[in-house]
Amino acid sequence: MFLIVGLATSAVGLPVKLGGTKKIKTAINQYNQILDKKVTYFQKPELKLITNTNGLGFQLRF
């Protein structure tokens, strides 16, 4: 019983995870394109998706 539940959860979760990652990257790229407009101050903010051995996260630099 637990094996079936685990396999079903994995089968549903994998496409959701892959699709979600793609949507996150698309959203970040759209945000960064908005920032490509003329900026009046010295530095412009930038949002990035960061992955490393500790996990997944966002980096906002300004």
Which residues, 6+ apart, have CB-to-CB distance to 43 below 8 Å?
A: 61, 62
What pLDDT sits at residue 44? Answer: 72
d(CA 5, CA 1): 6
Q: How many CB atoms lie within 10 A of CB 49?
A: 14
In this prediction the pTM is 0.38
pLDDT in tens, 17-62: 777 777 888 888 888 887 766 656 666 778 888 888 888 888 888 7
What pLDDT sits at residue 41? Answer: 61
d(CA 54, CA 49): 13
Q: Which domain does 31 fall in, by range?
A: 1-61
d(CA 41, CA 36): 13
- How many domains does the chain contain in total? 1
Q: Does the pLDDT at position 3 exceed 70?
A: yes
